[in-house]
Amino acid sequence: MVDTLEVYSITKNTEVNGPGTRNMVHVQGCTLGCVGCFNTATWPTKSKKSYTVDIADLAEQLLVDNIDGVTISGGEPLQQAEATIHLIRLILTREPDTSVLLYTGYSKAEVSDAGYLEVLTDLVDIIVFGRFEKDKIIPQPHNQLRGSLNQEVYIRPGVTLLPTRSTNLEFHIEPGKVEITGFPSKDLIRLTRKELGV
178, 179, 184, 189 alpha-carbon torsion, rounded to 10°: 70
Please report, for the chain, the start and end positions of each structural domain, with discontinuous segments joined by +. Answer: 4-196
Mean pLDDT by 10 residues, the chain (198 residues): 92 87 95 90 90 96 93 96 98 96 98 98 96 84 76 90 58 57 51 44
CA distances from 100 to 41, 88, 135 (A): 24, 8, 28
pLDDT of residue 155: 93
Amino acid 197: pLDDT: 45
Residues present in the chain in total: 198
Quick check: helix, strand or coil at residue 77? helix
Cα torsion 40, 168, 27, 150: sign: negative
Q: Residue 175 has what pLDDT?
A: 64
Give the domain 4-196 fold.
TIM Barrel (3.20.20)
**C-beta of residue 47 within 8 angstroms of C-beta of residue 41:** yes
CB 132 within 8 A of CB 34: yes
- Which among 7, 23, 20 is positioned nearest to 181, based on CA atoms? 23
- 124 within 8 A of 96, measured Cβ to Cβ: no
Q: What is the pLDDT of residue 160?
A: 76
Ramachandran class of 158: left when φ > 0, alpha when ψ lies in -120 to 50, beta otherwise: left
**pLDDT score recorded for residue 186:** 47
> What's the whole-model pTM score?
0.82
